[in-house]
Amino acid sequence: MSKPFLSLQNLTKRFQAPKGGEALTVFENVNLGIEKGEFVCIIGHSGCGKSTILNILAGLDEPTEGAVIMNGKEVSGPSLDRGIVFQNYSLLPWLSALKNVTFAVQARYKSWSKKQVHDHSMKYLEMVGLAGGAELRKPSQLSGGMRQRVSIARAFAIQPELLLLDEPFGALDALTRGSIQDELIRIWSGSDQTVFMITHDVDEAILLADRILLMTNGPYARVAESVQVDIPRPRERANIIHHSDYYDIRNHLVEFLATRSKALAGKQEEGTPSEPSIVRFGAHGVVSGPKDNRKPATSPVE
């Protein structure tokens, strides 16, 4: 087995119950591999531990058991190799949009001159459509969409190997979300960035992702399925819905969220395969994972 760029090995998170009760297991034995340059979305109901997984990948949280290996090295603690975009933007409100990016670039490239840092930051701000004066404003003087653009520019500007997006468009209206999704995919296409993104939006996941991971409900949540999105790129918001696979995938996802996320939930028996079953549609036919024999994967559209 060739080693993937990023692998999650037997990742488990438990929270100690107060007063010595039984610990709450959020998720257990999550095993995943992500290749370099892949765009992966993860979908699941609230409380299944998606954000905890992302925080562990970021190094902001620690797993109770298991490990995250990136580039052959175990992740411990936050690093500039992993950039993060949070739902609430996490911009420093006393700095201008530009300064919010330059301090990060300065932290990444310590030897750069002021001008290099400034030009590099401006390049990324321009990429997300923030220039011509807007970059000098404080976050409180920007709209939610513009703030998220700054946050995305900051994450890309430090050129991390892995980009973690925690529901980046959750707080935005549909129109703004659409245009920033387009920008995100444009910037990502021009780089060899690996992206791991949490979302609640099925359409967003299909538009953006190479692969969509589906999590069951917690406690004892796990990544049950990995849905391959083989719709060719570049994908256009207007055309993608006409692709023959689109509704197959969409129905599969919606149906997972509606029923199977609950049906598959709960503690697994010993010996159950811990890798998610692989689901493919279209030209490749419906293929289930080698170790999986559960019904949903073999007939995704019921």
Partner 1 sequence: MLASLNARALVLSLVLLAVFLGLWEAASPKQQLAGELTEYELLMGGAEPKAAVPPPSDVIAKAWEELSNPFYDAGPNDKGIGIQIGYSLYRVLSGYFLAAAIAIPVGFLIGMSPLMYKALDPFIQVLRPISPLAWMPLALFVIQDSQASAIFVIFICSIWPMLINTAFGVAGVRKDWVNVARTHELGPLKTAWIVILPAAAPTILTGMRISIGIAWLVIVAAEMLVGGTGIGYYVWNEWNNLDLTSVVFSILMIGVVGMLLDTAFAYCARLVQYQE
Question: Given the complex with partner 1, which of 96 and 261 has the nearer CB atom?
Answer: 96
CB of 61 to partner 1, least distance (A): 10
- CA 149/CA 71 separation, integer angstroms: 28
Q: Which of 2, 113, 140, 299 binds partner 1 (CB under 8 A)?
A: 140
Restricting to residues 236-295, which ones interact with partner 1 according to CB under 8 A? none
Q: If DSSP codes are grouped into helix, strand and coil, which group holds residue 267?
A: coil
Q: Does 41 bind partner 1 (CB under 8 A)?
A: no
DSSP state of 221: B
Residue pair 158/84 in contact (Cβ under 8 Å)? The answer is: no
How many residues belong to the site for partner 1 (CB under 8 A)? 24
Q: Which of 82, 147, 211, 280 binds partner 1 (CB under 8 A)?
A: 82
Question: Given the complex with partner 1, which of 79 and 251 has the nearer CB atom?
Answer: 79
Residue-level length of the chain: 302
Q: In the chain, which ranges are E strands? A: 6-15, 24-34, 39-43, 65-70, 73-74, 82-85, 162-166, 194-198, 211-215, 223-228, 277-279
Angle at 245 between CA 240 and CA 250, to 5 degrees: 80
- CA 81/CA 197 separation, integer angstroms: 16
**Contact pattern for partner 1 over residues 153 through 192, marking x by CB under 8 A:** -----x----------------------------------
Q: Does 111 bind partner 1 (CB under 8 A)?
A: no
- CA 276/CA 294 separation, integer angstroms: 11
Q: Does 86 bind partner 1 (CB under 8 A)?
A: yes
For 286, list phi and psi in degrees, rounded to 5.
-90, 115
Q: Does 93 bind partner 1 (CB under 8 A)?
A: yes
Q: Which of 7, 9, 12, 79 binds partner 1 (CB under 8 A)?
A: 79
**Contact pattern for partner 1 over residues 47 through 66, marking x by CB under 8 A:** -----------xxx------
Query: Which residues in this chain contact partner 1 in the complex, by CB under 8 A?
Result: 58-60, 77-80, 82-84, 86, 88, 90, 92-95, 103-104, 107-108, 138, 140, 158
